[in-house]
Amino acid sequence: MNIIKSDKAHYVLDENNNRIAEITYVESDKSMIIIDHTFVDESLRGQGIASKLVASVVEEMKKQNKKIVPLCPFAKSEFDRVPEYQSMLK
């Protein structure tokens, strides 16, 4: 699975270049982003892809020295579940 990173999303494409999984976020200020949406196509659910997308954003924001506000319910549950993410919370 190849996660593609853009300015406001990390996503996965199918063979027809359609987004089949994505996590989106907005920059709140220069030091913080807000994760506002996570989606995984029904055909891929149960494979841990949404968790990998959250991890991808966390990794990228660590590199950029930005904190995260997980407003999306799935992202919030991941932050609650994964102790290593706590240091990234705003």
Give the pLDDT of residue 2. Answer: 94
The pLDDT profile of the chain, 90 residues, written as one tens digit per residue, is: 899 999 999 999 999 999 999 999 999 999 999 999 999 999 999 999 999 999 999 999 999 999 999 999 999 999 999 999 999 998
Task: Return the residue matching tokens 């959250």.
Answer: 54
Residue 23 · residue 38 · CB < 8 Å? yes
Give the pLDDT of residue 9. Answer: 98
Question: What residue segments make up the domains of the chain, in order of their start?
Answer: 4-88
Give the pLDDT of residue 20. Answer: 97
Residue 70 · residue 19 · CB < 8 Å? no
What is the fold, at CATH topology level, of the domain defined by 4-88?
Aminopeptidase (3.40.630)
Q: Is 25 helix (H, G, I), strand (E, B) or coil?
A: strand
Provide φ and ψ at 4, rounded to 5°.
-100, 135
Cα 7 to Cα 83: distance, rounded to the nearest angstrom: 26
Cα 80 to Cα 27: distance, rounded to the nearest angstrom: 21
Give the pLDDT of residue 90. Answer: 86
Residue 7 · residue 19 · CB < 8 Å? no
* pTM, entire model: 0.95
Task: Return the residue matching tokens 């494409």.
Answer: 13
